[in-house]
């Protein structure tokens, strides 16, 4: 049987190792994708460190996948060999339950998450459910498309499901993989866009990405600064750090929404009295369906939004991961080839 190179972890907390694995065969309704690029997402740490229940190891990580259709399993399909496609976190779901029929795939009890329930894009090939694939627009390269399949669709979809309207004050906290896409989307969606980071390092880049205002929250002053501007209609929280998210509640204006996409594993702390007078809400959002990914990709093609990527060969996955986890990547590390 043909073999492929795969970067896997053998156990929770284990190091990355390069393994020779069988090239998998697609089953009914499935497609084999040759991976051309795969982004590294902070969410991968949930798998690497064993924070997600029920993961079976060894596991090949990676859920920001761009590539080409390489083989097609039995059954009806819309995909053609060699077509450029993408696969995100939503790797498959039952399609029948109430959650699925409302597009809330993560609430499906049979949700299959790419790189968690089955092997992901740190390997040379992945098996994808045909319904989970998104078509890539021609004008977006594989390396740029990959981060749009998670960092992009998550921030795009979260923002477009808020109550913010053109001209509203929208802040994005944490200028990393998700946040640098969030800033670009907020700007192109017509919001007065605030980037919230720590220190001055990212100010020039955040302004290049479209931020009208840059706030250095290293001393925890961002909420007060937002209030001076009238209070935010929406704060999109991406930092994997619950205390700094909690502290932003006081930056919301009347009917303001704290939209949490960060996957921080510890509790947030908020008093009801911070919510009641200003009718503020806190909500979460999980990336999106394949159709949402296509919307995000097409919006990027339309507006010129692109992720800023650092490319690494697959063999250097450990180095690429370290750059992300140490907050040095500008802004998304991507495995290519």
Ligand X SMILES: NC(=O)c1ccc[n+]([C@@H]2O[C@H](COP(=O)([O-])OP(=O)(O)OC[C@H]3O[C@@H](n4cnc5c(N)ncnc54)[C@H](OP(=O)(O)O)[C@@H]3O)[C@@H](O)[C@H]2O)c1
The residue (of 150 and 324) whose beta carbon lies closer to Zn ion is 150
Task: Tell me which residues in 26-45 interact with ligand X (CB under 6 A).
Answer: 41-43
CA distance 111 to 89: 10
Residues 94, 257 contacting (CB under 8 angstroms): no
75, burial (CB in 10 Å: exposed 0-12, middle 13-18, buried 19+): exposed
Query: Which of 6, 238, 289, 293 lies at the binding interface for ligand X (CB under 6 A)?
Result: 238
Region from 77-85, 236-244, 270-278, 312-320 binding ligand X, contact rule CB under 6 A: 236-244
Phi, psi values for residue 223, rounded to 5°: -60, -45
Q: Which does 293 bind (CB under 5 to 8 A by kind): Zn ion, ligand X, none?
A: none
Residue 257: CB atoms within 10 A of its CB come to 22
Query: Which of 115, 121, 152, 176 lies at the binding interface for ligand X (CB under 6 A)?
Result: 176
Least Å distance, CB 44 to ligand X, is: 8
Query: Which of 38, 87, 149, 150 lies at the binding interface for ligand X (CB under 6 A)?
Result: 150
Q: Is 43 in the site for Zn ion (CB under 5 A)?
A: yes
Who's near 208: CB < 8 A, 6+ residues apart?
none
- The size of the interface with ligand X (CB under 6 A), counted in residues, is 29
Task: Tell me which residues in 249-308 interact with ligand X (CB under 6 A).
Answer: 261-264, 285-287
Structure tokens at 164: 């913010």
CA distance 281 to 257: 5
Residues 205, 229 contacting (CB under 8 angstroms): no
- The size of the interface with Zn ion (CB under 5 A), counted in residues, is 3
CA distance 286 to 307: 19
Region from 91-99, 109-117, 149-157, 227-235 binding ligand X, contact rule CB under 6 A: 149-157
Task: Tell me which residues in 136-155 interact with Zn ion (CB under 5 A).
Answer: 150
Instruction: Report the DSSP beta bridge partners of residue 145.
Output: none
Least Å distance, CB 327 to ligand X, is: 5
The residue (of 26 and 240) whose beta carbon lies closer to ligand X is 240
Q: Is 114 in the site for ligand X (CB under 6 A)?
A: no
Residue 104: CB atoms within 10 A of its CB come to 16
CA distance 176 to 114: 21
Task: Tell me which residues in 198-217 interact with ligand X (CB under 6 A).
Answer: 198, 202
Q: Is 244 in the site for ligand X (CB under 6 A)?
A: yes
Q: Which residue is nearest to Zn ion (CB)?
A: 41
Largest CA distance in the chain: 65
Region from 9-17, 79-87, 118-126, 175-183 binding ligand X, contact rule CB under 6 A: 175-183
Pairing of strands 232-237, 309-313: unpaired
CA distance 314 to 126: 14
Pairing of strands 30-39, 90-92: unpaired
Q: Is 177 in the site for ligand X (CB under 6 A)?
A: yes
Q: Is 41 in the site for Zn ion (CB under 5 A)?
A: yes
Q: List contacts with Zn ion (CB under 5 A).
A: 41, 43, 150
Q: List contacts with ligand X (CB under 6 A).
A: 41-43, 150-151, 154, 174-179, 197-198, 202, 238-241, 244, 261-264, 285-287, 324, 327
């Amino acid at each position: 049987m043909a073999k492929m190179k795969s970067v896997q972890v053998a156990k929770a907390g284990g190091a990355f190792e390069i393994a020779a694995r069988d090239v998998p065969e697609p089953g009914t309704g499935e497609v084999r994708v040759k991976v051309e690029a795969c982004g590294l997402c902070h969410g991968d740490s949930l798998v690497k460190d064993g924070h997600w229940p029920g993961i079976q190891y060894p596991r090949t990580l990676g859920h920001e996948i761009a590539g080409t259709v390489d083989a097609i399993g039995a059954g009806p399909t819309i995909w053609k060999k060699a077509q450029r496609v993408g696969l995100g976190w939503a790797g498959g779901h039952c399609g029948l339950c109430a959650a699925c029929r409302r597009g809330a795939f993560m609430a499906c009890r049979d949700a299959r998450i790419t790189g968690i329930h089955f092997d992901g894009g740190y390997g040379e090939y992945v098996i994808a459910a045909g319904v989970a694939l998104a078509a890539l627009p021609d004008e977006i390269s594989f390396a740029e498309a990959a981060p749009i399949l998670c960092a992009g669709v998550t921030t795009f979809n979260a923002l477009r499901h808020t109550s913010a309207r053109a001209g509203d004050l929208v802040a994005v906290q944490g200028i990393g993989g998700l946040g640098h896409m969030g800033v670009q989307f907020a700007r192109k969606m017509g919001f007065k866009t605030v980037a919230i980071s720590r220190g001055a390092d990212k100010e020039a880049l955040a302004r290049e990405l479209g931020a009208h205002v840059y706030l250095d929250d290293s001393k925890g002053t961002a909420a007060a600064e937002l209030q001076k501007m009238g209070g935010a209609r929406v704060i999109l929280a991406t930092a994997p750090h619950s205390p700094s998210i909690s502290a932003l509640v006081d930056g919301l204006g009347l009917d303001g929404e704290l939209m949490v996409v960060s996957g921080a594993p510890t509790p947030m702390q908020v008093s009801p009295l911070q919510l009641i007078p200003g009718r503020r809400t806190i909500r979460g959002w999980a990336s999106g369906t394949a159709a949402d990914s296509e919307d995000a990709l097409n919006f990027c093609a339309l507006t010129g939004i692109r992720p800023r990527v650092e490319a690494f060969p697959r063999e250097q996955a450990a180095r690429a991961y370290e750059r992300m986890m140490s907050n040095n990547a500008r802004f998304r590390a991507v495995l290519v080839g």
